[in-house]
Amino acid sequence: MPTLFVTAPPDAAAELASDVLEERLAACVNRLDCRSTYRWEGEVHDEDEEILLVKTTEERVDECREWLETEHPYEVPCIERFDASETLPSFAEWRADVVK
């Protein structure tokens, strides 16, 4: 089952998480506070961000990624796909049922 790793500014993370669920593109989004240090346009930045772990299904992962890219406030958002090699079967069933 795929999970999308997404970083977002704190003022946009909650809305992204809620909206992707409303669109039924994900079953769950975990939000984690983090501090990111990165280079952008020739300068090093150090900013608060949130990590969103967006749990979706194989059938909806491409649509979910496209939706996140369109709705994300960053010009170049970090959206990376991770696949779980082992998932608790009851969780996999729940995820598949919720994301339709």
Average pLDDT over residues 90-96: 88
In whole angstroms, what separates CA 97 from the centre of its chain?
A: 19
Which tens digits make up the pLDDT trace of 3-20?
A: 999 999 999 999 999 999
The alpha-helical segments, DSSP class H, found in 1-88 are 10-22, 61-71
Confidence of residue 31 (pLDDT cuts 50, 70, 90): very high
Can you tell me the distance from the alpha carbon of 42 to that of 83, in angstroms, rounded to the nearest whole number? Answer: 32
Determine the pLDDT at residue 100: 78
- Between 100 and 2, residue with greater pLDDT: 2
Determine the pLDDT at residue 84: 78
DSSP code at position 63: H
Which tens digits make up the pLDDT trace of 33-82?
A: 999 999 999 999 999 999 999 999 999 999 999 999 999 999 999 999 99
Which residues neighbour 38 within 8 Å (Cβ) at sequence distance 6 or greater? 44, 45, 47
> What residue segments make up the domains of the chain, in order of their start?
2-98
Q: Give the domain 2-98 fold.
A: Alpha-Beta Plaits (3.30.70)
Please return the burial class of 12, using the count of CB atoms within 10 Å of its CB with bins 0-12, 13-18 and 19+: middle
